[in-house]
Structure 1
Amino acid sequence: MELRFERRPLYLKETFSIAYGNYDKREALLIELSHQNCKGYGECVAIDYYRIDLQSFVLKLKEIQTLIESQKIIHPKYFFTFLLNLNLPPFLLSALDCAYWDLFGKLENKSFIELNHLPSDKLVESSITISVGEIDDQIEKIEKSSWNKFKVKCKGLDKNNVEKLLQLNRNIALDSNASFTDEDCIWLQNNPEVQKFSYLEQPRPINNYKILEKEGFANWMADEDCQNLESLDKLTPYYKSINIKLMKCGGLTPALEMIRKARKLNYKIMIGCMTESTVGISAACNLTGLVDYADLDGANLISNDYTTGSFVKNGKIILSTKSGLGIEIK
């Protein structure tokens, strides 16, 4: 097996504004694993509020390259066990795990769906993100969009804006990126109208969730609070829903395990994304038959997508019919 990797810029179609800041570009680290003329791809992205340093990942890959290339082709779950022993950060672990699933599927001439016996006939529809901005501009974007589901970013809570969004009678979620106060959360979870929002994501900074009441009217969804399998038990009194992102949890292999456990704990589940190319989005699309919500618009927000695979069109998930994760470099 051969390992290659390179850093690639991702340019956004328009400035992406969230509570953490404004962004015109991201940088991705593309991973390629190859064997017998088949190539598998994975990706991770530098996200500043996760303190991701791609150069440190490059140095780590150079350090472990010989170990990875000496591995025989084995089932991905065993390859993941090997990766765990390398003590890799979750973002890098995810890129390698996804690349290996893509390669293994191509070698077996089977899709990820076939290899894992996953449902693919009833895929949830993805939302598209509406950046932080003036409420009238946000509403205009919603009304002009051909998508059916929307995630509206907020920086703090404006009750008048909440009222205006509720009056639209559209499928809308709110994402504060941890910018709501305790008082905001109390008002929201005690307001019956708030249950019209499909969910309210990451209202408070990490580990500040104990003000939340799962039994209230708000469908609180954990994002940054829900990093991995170990997060699930402690969040049950506070959150009704969780957002699983492959880069957060370490890839497709742990995401499948998280979904199984989350179902047992009666969570609603979303498959989410960050700013990613089709490499990352294609991997996540394969899990949309298992969940209640999807937020996989990352590749739709960039202007220089460099791969093909599964994709999202006006919210509809279009799965690749090719083997592995169906990823090909343009």
Structure 2
Amino acid sequence: MSSPRITRNRGPYLLIVPTILVLIVAMGYPLGRQLILSFQEFGRAQQFGQPAEWVGLQNYQDLVTDRAMWTVVTRSLIFCAVCASVTMFIGTLFALLMKRVSTGPRLALQISLLLTWAMPVIAAMTAWQWLFDTRYGVINWTLKNLGFSSFENHNWLIEPLSFFSVAGVIVIWMSVPFVAFTTYAALTQVSEETLEASHLDGATALQRFRHITFPTIKPVLTIVMLLQVVWDLRVFAQIDFLQKVGGTVSQTHLMGTYIYTLGIGQSDYGSASALSMFVLVLTLALTFRYVRRLLAEDAS
């Protein structure tokens, strides 16, 4: 007969067993299937029911020597770094603003951010398409009336740089509310007594933030930054939508749309799966430092 102490110690582990099993089935099978596909070659014969040919590491070798793939990877990393950094900066500023203002303005700001966050992606993209429309867009109309006549009938999506500028604005706009709300929740846990005592001791606002506020909210910021890197690295819907309404597809691919084009557009499921596995490894490599830091903080 087991003692109550042993049963009590095993209880939490028994409770998470169903969750682990669901994760294994829901995520393990697709991941394993994708890994198998990455070692196979798909062509016209497979569309008529023929089994895929096993090619081993050939798909990975083709990707490594493909300059277009490395261009897409570099472009994706730059886009991810810019969007994640700007999102964290703006979101933290909004959180600090909500902490400082009175109840009325704070509620108005929170409702605005919540509506932005809750807006469906397609509805938001349609609104942004109208804003940047070549002939009737509000952005072009505003810039033209401010004296910038060169923006009359300006196409924001035809050039890669302006395309990714528009895409970056949209991605950041949709991501800021999450960062702002999460950081604001962390700011509410900062000790007001400690802040007041440091203020009485002559510490400036910047010093209080650097030595008291930031160390307190740093674990939360680390987790949020980790999530932003993962989300911005695999952004798809915004890029795909902008490509369909005017972007030059060959010059505006990120890894998400490139994988979709290889798999769905060209029926090259082997190369698409190999690139997906590469993105998985790349994501783990980029987030390993953050995860290790989180584990070290939990251990301490």
TM-score (norm 1): 0.23
Q: Which has the higher strand share?
A: 1
Select the structure of larger CA radius of gyration.
2
Which structure carries more relative contact order (alpha carbon 8 Å, separation 6+)?
2
Q: Which has the higher helix share?
A: 2
TM-score (norm 2): 0.24
